[in-house]
């Protein structure tokens, strides 16, 4: 260990003097109150022989280097301050062992290390609080990255990534190496191990699921950039890779939040959500060897404003050569025979406003293994075959998930609604909204186009600039992923889940506004946004045409079209007015609005204090000697003659004790008698 640390010290000296010599967007932290990265000292982080990092706060005074797979153990909280840089080492002593197999890959491969690549693993029951700011994001990358955006987009697999494990529900059954199902407490109580992680301490700190803590958050990541990672430990007989992703959310509980996060250059997937109920917002996932997003194992959280980018020269999977998608919708671990055949809990998130953009990939979305959920108001662009490919090799595959009940055993649990696949009538001959991949192409496969069309999924030109170019790992032409027009989503297709925002445009970005990834991501610094930033406009907030995005006053402010009376108490109140012009008045609609007043005015809408009650008051009881038929309000002055009758109870003297006597009694009940 002493020799290792000495080597680290030598490396750190050169690292600080050369690697951080540039002052790019991320490398210079002085603008947000942090030391410039080149002046920070290095903290070498180990797993402390299984004790983990403990409860700590990492600040931007240091650069933290993950020397191995580092765990935050159950009960501990790791807090990472804005502007902090965390770098992972690439591992040492890699050994690959392969055996022949009858599958299409031809062999099963296992990879081990003497020291596994640096990764940060948050164990079940632990918490990660990594909250940066727009001006001071947190960044994760590899040891050797100058943190100035000069590393190529095609660089990946340089460190392990970040894994959050939680105790929520998943739909798998077995832990590898255990003969009996771990799902013994009911549906959703199975467990699994995070992919690509080896807990060398033997504590199994990368186990997740079990549904023992479904409401416990595993952490919050906001304004975080993760780049150039993922570790491949081989693949199994089912052709499933055992690899980390740049960000893996494994069985995370309710309240786990990923918001404003950049995920760039993974050797596997960018973001992989495995079960649980985490929420993901404003995620840019781009330029990976495999999928930008993948979801499975019973995820029932939410996702909105998610942007996936795929370059076909980079999307070349390093594990078995599966096709890479922008979003792979899996339902379960069916291929590994590790799922309850009820498939519950279904992978059924509420999703809206995705923008999935390729530069020539076959399909944007792959639907496999019975996923579910509502996926709304999204955009797929730059594909050569279709927006959505549904696989149908089994009765529990993608097509049965999307097919309505009664069509080829359809479950109708997956609802892809109101998507726009970038296209024109001319491109419709080659690009389709949906593509069927299955055994029944001459039968039920013909139903797929109609199923998608019935849910208002159509080809249409949508995005302002959907083409981009990567040359030799360098972005040479960016995109403008904003829709050309807004107000394209009707009330009928608004989300019914209160966790999602209601917006009236397709895709992840509002038309006319600056994209939410601008200014804080590495890709922003590289020129990803090709559009024009907001410029001249009306900068006065009180104006009718105030433009919140305008950076320069152009003299166009309008103070008339929205002017009027803005006070609800006024007779001339204008509910559409936003600027008060001093015209409010209360005379034309004033009067007495109290219905029991003598001068009540049913036409009045504003009470002017004129109500009177005296001139219409009097005795309103007809049997009283002083009954006043003109009186509207009884003033308690009624005088009643009491008949002296030997028949007690005959109060009105008609010789009969009846209801009329009772009414007479009640009319004077409670009055004081003269002594």
Partner residues linked to 241 by β-bridges: 235
Q: Mind listing the pLDDT tens digit for each residue in 358-403?
A: 999 999 999 999 999 999 999 999 999 999 999 998 888 999 999 9
Q: Strand locations in 173-278, DSSP E?
A: 191-193, 207-209, 219-227, 232-235, 241-243, 247-250, 257-264, 271-274
Average pLDDT in the 205-229 region? 97
Q: Kindly tell me the burial class for residue 120, based on how many C-beta atoms sit within 10 Å of its own C-beta (0-12, 13-18, 19 or more).
A: buried
What's the confidence (pLDDT) of residue 100? Answer: 77
E-only strand ranges, 418-515: 420-422, 432-438, 458-460, 463-465, 469-471, 474-477, 480-483
Q: What is the pLDDT of residues 136-187, one digit of tens each?
A: 999 999 999 988 888 999 999 999 999 999 999 999 887 876 666 566 678 8
pLDDT in tens, 545-570: 876 556 678 888 988 888 999 888 78
What is the number of H-type helices and E-type strands within the chain? Answer: 5, 45
Whole-angstrom distance, CA of residue 529 vs CA of residue 582: 45
How far, in Å, CA of 353 to CA of 503, rounded? 9
Residue 364 CA to chain centroid, in angstroms? 19
At 642 the pLDDT is 63
**CA neighbor of 83 nearest in space, from 26, 146, 143, 20:** 26
Q: What is the pLDDT of residue 106?
A: 66
Question: Which pair of structure tokens corresponds to residue 252?
Answer: 């995370």
pLDDT at 95 over 50: yes
Q: Residue 219: CB partners within 8 Å, gap ≥ 6?
A: 122, 127, 128, 129, 130, 164, 252, 256, 257
Residue whose tokens read 């932290």: 29
Share of the chain above pLDDT 70, in %: 88
For residues 371 and 364, give the distance between their C-alpha atoms in angstroms, rounded to a whole number: 16
Q: What is the pLDDT of residue 23?
A: 39
Q: Which pTM was predicted? A: 0.77
Mean pLDDT value across residues 11-19: 37
Instruction: Tell me how far apart the alpha carbons of residues 128 and 255 are, in angstroms, rounded to a whole number.
Output: 12
> In which band, very low, low, confident or very high, does the pLDDT at 621 lie, cut at 50, 70 and 90?
confident
Q: Tell me the pLDDT band of 259, cut-offs 50, 70 and 90.
A: very high
Q: 522 by DSSP, 3-state: which?
A: helix
Cite the beta strand spans of 26-181 per DSSP E: 41-45, 56-58, 62-66, 69-72, 77-80, 85-88, 95-100, 107-112, 119-122, 127-131, 138-142, 161-165
pLDDT of 492 above 90: yes
Query: What is the pLDDT at residue 530?
Result: 93
- What does the pLDDT read at residue 278? 98
Average pLDDT over residues 277-299: 97
Percentage with pLDDT > 90 across the chain: 57
Q: Two tokens at 665?
A: 């009694």
When pLDDT is averaged across residues 488-504 and rounded to a whole number, the result is 94
Mean of pLDDT values over 57-86: 97
Report how far residue 615's alpha carbon sits from residue 603's, in angstroms, rounded to the nearest whole number: 21
Bridge pairing between strands 386-392 and 293-296 = unpaired
SS3 of residue 2 by DSSP: helix
Tallying the residues shown for the chain, one arrives at: 675
For residue 423, give the 3-state DSSP assignment: coil
pLDDT at 22: 35
d(CA 206, CA 261): 23
DSSP three-state, residue 232: strand
List C-alpha distances in Å: 402 to 294, 345, 352, 435, 524: 18, 17, 17, 12, 36
Residue 522: both structure tokens together: 């590495």
Q: pLDDT-derived band of residue 325, with 50, 70 and 90 as boundaries?
A: very high
The pLDDT value recorded for residue 14 is 38
464, 533, 661 from 530: Cα distances, Å: 10, 9, 92
What is the DSSP secondary-structure string of 145-171? --SSS-S-TT---SS-EEEEE-BS-BS
Name the pLDDT band for 11 (thresholds 50, 70, 90).
Answer: very low
3-state helix, strand, coil in the chain (%, to 5): 10, 30, 60
Per-residue pLDDT of 70-80, as tens digits, reads: 999 999 999 99
How do residues 397-439 score in pLDDT, each as one tens digit? 999 999 998 777 789 999 999 999 998 667 777 899 999 998 8
Least confident of 20-24, 316-320, 359-363: 20-24
Write down the pLDDT at residue 407: 79
Cis before 345 (ω within 30): yes
Strands 633-634 and 432-438: unpaired
User: What is the predicted pLDDT for the residue at 442?
Assistant: 64
Looking at residue 323, what DSSP letter applies? P
Whether the per-residue pLDDT at 320 is higher than 60: the answer is: no
Tokens of 113: 């290390």
| 31-35, 123-127, 145-149: segment of lowest average pLDDT | 31-35
pLDDT of residue 299: 97
pLDDT-based confidence at 319, cuts 50/70/90? low
Is residue 440 pLDDT above 60, yes or no?
yes
Mean pLDDT (the chain, rounded): 87
Contact between residue 223 and residue 134 where contact means Cβ atoms under 8 Å apart: yes
Least confident of 125-129, 180-184, 255-259, 609-613: 180-184
Round to whole Å and give the CA distance between 232 and 414.
31
Model confidence band, residue 270 (pLDDT cutoffs 50, 70, 90)? very high
Greatest mean pLDDT range, 119-128, 445-454, 571-580: 119-128
Cα separation, 4 vs 198, whole angstroms: 21
* pLDDT confidence of residue 509: 98
User: Residue 625 has which token pair?
Assistant: 């000697």
pLDDT of residue 548: 56
For range 54-58, the mean pLDDT? 98
């Amino acid at each position: 260990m002493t020799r290792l640390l000495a080597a680290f010290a030598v490396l750190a000296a050169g690292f600080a003097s050369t690697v951080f010599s540039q002052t790019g967007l991320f490398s210079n932290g002085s603008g947000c109150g942090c030391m410039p990265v080149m002046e920070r000292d290095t903290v070498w982080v180990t797993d402390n022989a299984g004790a983990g990092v403990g409860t700590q706060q990492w600040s931007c005074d240091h650069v933290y280097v993950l020397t191995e797979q580092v765990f935050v153990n159950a009960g501990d909280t790791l807090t990472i301050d804005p502007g902090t840089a965390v770098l992972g080492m690439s591992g040492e002593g890699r050994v690959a062992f392969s055996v022949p197999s009858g599958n299409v890959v031809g062999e099963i491969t296992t990879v081990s290390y003497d020291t596994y690549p640096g990764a940060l693993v948050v164990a079940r029951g632990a918490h990660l609080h990594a909250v940066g700011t727009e001006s001071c994001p947190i960044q994760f990358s590899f040891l050797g990255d100058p943190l100035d955006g000069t590393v190529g987009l095609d660089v990946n697999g340089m460190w392990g990534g970040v894994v959050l494990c939680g105790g929520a529900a998943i739909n798998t059954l077995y832990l590898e190496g255990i003969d009996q199902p771990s799902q013994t407490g009911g549906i959703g109580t199975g467990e699994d191990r995070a992919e690509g992680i080896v807990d060398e301490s033997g504590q199994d700190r990368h186990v997740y699921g079990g549904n023992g803590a479904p409401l416990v958050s595993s952490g919050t990541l906001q304004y975080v950039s993760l780049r150039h990672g993922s570790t491949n430990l081989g693949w199994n007989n089912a052709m499933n890779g055992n690899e980390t992703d740049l960000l893996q959310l494994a069985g995370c509980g309710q309240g786990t939040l990923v918001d404003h996060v950049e995920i760039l250059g993974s050797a596997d997937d960018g973001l992989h959500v495995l079960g649980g109920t985490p929420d993901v917002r404003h995620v840019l996932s781009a330029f990976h060897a495999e999928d930008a997003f993948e979801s499975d194992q019973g995820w029932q959280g939410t996702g909105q404003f998610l942007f996936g980018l795929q370059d076909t020269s980079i999307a070349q999977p390093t594990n078995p050569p599966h096709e890479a998608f922008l979003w792979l919708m899996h339902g379960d671990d069916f291929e590994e025979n590790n799922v309850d055949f009820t498939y519950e809990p279904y992978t059924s998130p509420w999703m809206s406003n995705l923008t999935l953009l390729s530069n020539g990939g076959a399909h944007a979305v792959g639907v496999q293994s019975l996923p579910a959920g509502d996926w709304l108001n999204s955009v797929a662009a730059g594909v050569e075959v279709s927006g959505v490919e549904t696989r149908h090799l089994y009765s529990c595959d993608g097509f049965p998930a999307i097919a309505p009940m009664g069509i080829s055993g359809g479950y109708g649990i997956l609802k892809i609604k109101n998507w726009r696949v970038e296209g024109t009538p001319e491109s419709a001959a080659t690009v389709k909204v949906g593509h069927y991949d299955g055994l029944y192409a001459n039968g039920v496969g013909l139903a797929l186009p109609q199923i998608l069309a019935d849910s208002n999924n159509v080809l249409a030109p949508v995005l302002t600039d959907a083409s981009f170019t990567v040359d030799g790992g360098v972005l040479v032409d960016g995109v403008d992923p904003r829709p050309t027009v807004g107000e394209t989503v009707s009330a009928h297709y608004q989300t019914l889940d209160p966790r999602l925002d209601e917006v009236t445009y397709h895709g992840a970005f509002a038309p006319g506004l600056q994209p939410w990834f601008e200014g804080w991501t590495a890709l922003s610094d590289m020129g990803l946004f090709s559009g024009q930033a907001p410029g001249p406009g009306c900068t006065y907030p009180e104006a009718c045409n105030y433009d919140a995005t305008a950076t320069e006053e152009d003299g166009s402010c309008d103070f008339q079209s929205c002017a009027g009376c803005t006070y609800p108490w006024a007779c001339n109140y204008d509910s559409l007015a936003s600027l008060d012009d001093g015209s409010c008045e209360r005379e034309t609609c004033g009067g007495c609005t109290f219905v029991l007043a003598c001068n009540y005015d049913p036409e009045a809408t504003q009470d002017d204090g004129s109500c009177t009650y005296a001139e219409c008051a009097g005795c309103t009881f007809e049997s009283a000697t002083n009954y006043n038929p003109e009186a509207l309000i009884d003033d308690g002055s009624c005088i009643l003659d009491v008949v002296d009758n030997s028949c007690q109870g005959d109060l009105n003297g008609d010789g009969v004790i009846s209801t009329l006597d009772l009414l007479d009694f009640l009319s004077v009940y409670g009055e004081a008698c003269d002594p």
